[in-house]
Amino acid sequence: MSRIGKSPISIPAGVTITVDKSNKVTVKGPKGELSQVIDADLTFELKDGEGVLTRPTDQIRHRSVHGLYRTLIANMVTGVTDGYTKEMELIGVGYRAASTGNLLELTLGYSHPIYFAIPSELKLETKMEKGTPPTVILTGIDKQLIGQVAAKIRAFRSPEPYKGKGIRFKGEQIRRKAGKTAAK
């Protein structure tokens, strides 16, 4: 059984957390502001520079959402202080990435380029350096939004197991298959 929900959330200097009557937790920090509505049964309290999320009973439903909302609040605190970054590599001959503002243009071996609008909350950067695969870098304070947008970008050309071509996260290992062998 996970005990993640019981561990306190350390709140660094410069971060303020407020909870209103509808159990909406708002976290403000140097990089921005995030909010999340937590379960009505859970209570969030600030004690000695730490946030503690408590559940009323040990019911299965209360235990299951306890760790979830504690992690969501901890991710919001990390987001408004440090932020999150997701890097993706385009592996394949002729694969290119270019950005103008928050519009991403991908050339992935299809008959047409793919244009994808990035939400305004995120910052987009592309790198095209010789000797390294083209890289798409997403930066922002909302971990959930970055993951969702990165998953959509990856879905345009997910890595295939035979040659390893496609869009992958930086450092991701792709399981490769052997393929056919030549018959004699």
Give the pLDDT confidence of 57-100 residue by residue, as tens digits. Answer: 999 999 889 999 999 999 999 999 999 999 999 999 999 999 99
Query: What's the token pair of residue 157?
Result: 């050309």
**Pair 75, 24 in one domain:** yes
List the domain range (segments joined by +) for residue 8.
4-81
What's the CA gap between 144 and 35, in Å, rounded? 12
Rounded Cα–Cα distance for residues 93 and 3 (Å):
47
Residue 10 and residue 43 share a domain: yes
Q: Please indicate, yes or no, if residue 39 is contained in any of the structural domains.
A: yes
The residue from 64, 81, 98 where one domain ends is 81
Query: Do residues 35 and 88 both lie within one domain?
Result: no
Residue 162 sits in the same domain as residue 89: yes
Q: Which residue has the tokens 């937590």?
A: 38
Per the domain annotation, does 124 fall within a domain? yes
Of 52, 81, 110, which marks where a domain is finished? 81
pLDDT, residue 182, reads: 62
- Contacts with 119 (C-beta within 8 Å, 6 or more apart), sequence order: 102, 145, 149
Q: Is 29 exposed, middle or buried (0-12, 13-18, 19+ CB in 10 A)?
A: buried
At residue 178, the pLDDT reads: 87
Instruction: Give Cα 161 to chain centroid, integer Å.
Output: 24
Residue 176 lies in a domain: no
pLDDT less than 50: residues of the chain: 1
Report which secondary-structure segment, H or E, holds 164: none
Question: Which backbone phi and psi does 2 adopt, to 5 degrees?
Answer: -80, 140
Cα(46)–Cα(34) distance, rounded to whole angstroms?
17
Sequence letter at residue 8: P
Three-state secondary-structure class, residue 28: strand
